[in-house]
Amino acid sequence: MINLNQATLGGLTIQVPPVAEQRAIATALSDVDALLAKIDQLIAKKRDLKQAAMQQLLTGQTRLPGFSGEWEVKRLGDLLSYEQPTPYLVKSAEYDNGNSVPVLTAGKTFILGYTNETEGVYLSPPVIIFDDFTTASKFVDFTFKAKSSAMKILKAREGCAHIRFAFERMQIIDFQLGDHKRYWISEYSKLPIETPSLVEQTAISSVLSDMDAELAALEARRDKTRALKQGMMQALLTGRIRLVGGD
């Protein structure tokens, strides 16, 4: 409401329990807030641990048990082939969550919506989608359609790269953007990357994927706890459910 002010709020009436019950409700909700804060702290810690693991494992500073020997310097384009998204571009922007095919962008939004188009769906994941102008990238392990032609679909070259290793390695590349142009062919694919054997790439990818799974489980727990708090607020703050000891 544009004109919501103190006078308007002051005229509202609400049902209020006794002060002792108010305190009990506030304590219950505060306990959930404390749990949410702990989960958020744990998520932040796990993210920091993964970032440290990426810096160590993806550059060879730390080796997993059983691996040794020098890494070989290769260009990203030696590890990844690219495909233009033209055959997979969505035709209509009429998205609906009831549809089954996600429409992707390599930017922060990632999933723009869901389309009912069944022609021209990309059916060969996993891949990396790469924004040719910003160099942002996303790992995709499901079928999809694309939104923008300013995207490259990157696949691991057989026998050369593990797709997850290549993606994670791209996340720690310090690449400075310059002119507004397409970067994959002109510059990005030519970047030199120290690369271990395919077996070691696979092992590193497995470690980082396990860390991602832990993060996803914690984030799901946080979302569930937030939903629980919202339900508690609706029930306790309206008197629909009373705490033990309430009248």
Q: Where are the domains of the chain?
A: 72-194
Q: CA separation (Å) from 247 to 17, 22, 125, 224, 235?
A: 9, 12, 58, 30, 15
What's the pLDDT score for residue 1? 60
Q: Along the chain (247 residues), what's the average pLDDT of each consecutive run of 10 residues?
A: 71 86 95 97 97 97 96 97 97 94 94 96 97 96 96 96 97 92 95 97 97 97 97 93 72
**101-104/145-146 β-pairing:** parallel
What's the pLDDT score for residue 119? 95
What's the pLDDT score for residue 16? 87
What's the pLDDT score for residue 245? 62
What's the rounded Cα separation, in Å, for the pair 148 and 75? Answer: 26
What's the pLDDT score for residue 229? 96
What are the tokens at 235? 């029930």
The CATH number, out of the four listed (3.30.413.10, 3.90.220.20, 3.40.1180.10, 3.90.1150.10), of the domain defined by the range 72-194: 3.90.220.20
